[in-house]
Structure 1
Amino acid sequence: MSEEFMKVIVFQLKEEEYGVPVKYVGSIERMQNITRVPGTPEFVKGVINLRGVVTPIIDLRERFDLEITEYTESTRIIIVNIADKEVGMIVDSANDVIDIPESTIEPPPEVVGSVEADYIHGVAKLDKRLLILLNLDKVLSKDELKQIQTVEGTS
């Protein structure tokens, strides 16, 4: 029986490495001007115009209640598709694309650092690395997605 692999984009928040399946990722963008939208949750930074598409941007550090830092040269926006919506996630850096053997993925522990286990699909052990795999469907609740849709003006 051949080993199944999951291709993921690896990114960093604080000292932790996270992974998100490539199939959800549209693109990885450099930081750019974000237009603030009033009345949205604190972690929703606003919207950008990405190749003609108004795309809401969320800051994953704020979403996961991590300390907020200045954006740097390596800060990236990962454009992902959540529930048929394009959403940009601000991360400290996007490092690489790797294939993870499915057999190395374990269910999430009760609490991983300060990120709630709800957001986590699993944890992959790779050599000396521990990779937290995000469950994108849980990063934004249905209500939050609705709020974001209002931001886009497509409600």
Structure 2
Amino acid sequence: MSVIGKSSEGAITGAREYLTFRLDQEEYGIDILKVQEIRGYEPPTRIANAPEFIKGVVNLRGTIVPIVDMRLKFNCANAEYNNFTVVIILNLRSRVVGIVVDSVSDVMELSPDNIKAAPDIESVIDNGCILGLGSVGERMLILLDIEKLMSGVDMGLVASL
């Protein structure tokens, strides 16, 4: 794999690997270097007055990990829990956070040639949290800046990422 980094403008340089996952009918990708592990879904302990998309917390080997249901965060039509529902445990600088997704697909390597700028449209996801759209064959991935997304004010999870 080639050298990974960002230029001063924030553009992706060199090929990067992305963990791909599904939410409803869409496929997303996040930087594999942010992923600590993938686990089956288990109901977390609910936290009073937390936003609906924060399902609660789990104890992961002594670390209390907040669990965010991305299906609720992105206003997906259905958020049912089944055998395919997984939690991706992310390591975001000094914070560990879990995200609930419908299923994990695979790990894909994308070069900058395969990544296009995301169109500037109104959506549930802040445009600043979308790195671009990756394409491999017929597949289209929405590439997320998961660190930026998890540090949003509405998340209330990471004050100073």
Which residue of structure 1 aligns with residue 47 of structure 2?
Answer: 37
Which residue of 10, 15, 24 maps to 1:5?
Answer: 15
CA distance in 2, matches of 1:127, 1:139: 27
Distance 1:74 1:81 in 2: 22
Paired with 1:17 and 1:112, the residues of 2 have a C-alpha distance of 18
- In the alignment of these two chains, the number of paired residues is 148
Q: CA deviation at 1:114?
A: 5.0
The structure with higher relative contact order (CA 8 Å, sep 6+) is: 1
Alignment of 1:1-155 (within 5 A): 4-111=14-121, 115-144=125-154, 147-148=156-157
Code of the aligned partner of 2:39: E
Contact 2:151–2:157, Cα closer than 8 Å, also in 1: no
Does the 8 Å contact 2:74/2:124 carry over to 1?
A: yes
Give how far 1:118 is off. Answer: 3.2
Say which structure is richer in helix.
1
Shift of 1:116: 4.0
1:33 Cα offset (Å):
2.3
TM-score of the aligned structures, taking structure 2 as reference length: 0.82
Normalised TM-score (structure 1): 0.85
Moved more, 101-110 or 40-49: 101-110
Q: Distance in 2 between matches of 1:98 and 1:22?
A: 9
SS at match of 1:67: coil
Q: Distance in 1 between matches of 2:127 and 2:153?
A: 19
Which amino acid counterpart does residue 109 of structure 1 have in structure 2? P
Letter in 1 for 2:157: I
Residue segments in structure 2 that go unaligned for 5+ positions in a row: 3-12
| Identity across matched positions, percent | 34
CA contact (8 A) 1:65 1:115 kept: no
Unpaired runs of 5+ residues, structure 1, are: 151-155
Measured in 2, the distance between the counterparts of 1:32 and 1:94 equals 16
Letter in 1 for 2:107: V
Change (3 A) 1:134 1:84: same
Q: CA deviation at 1:83?
A: 4.3
Which amino acid is 1:148 matched to?
A: L
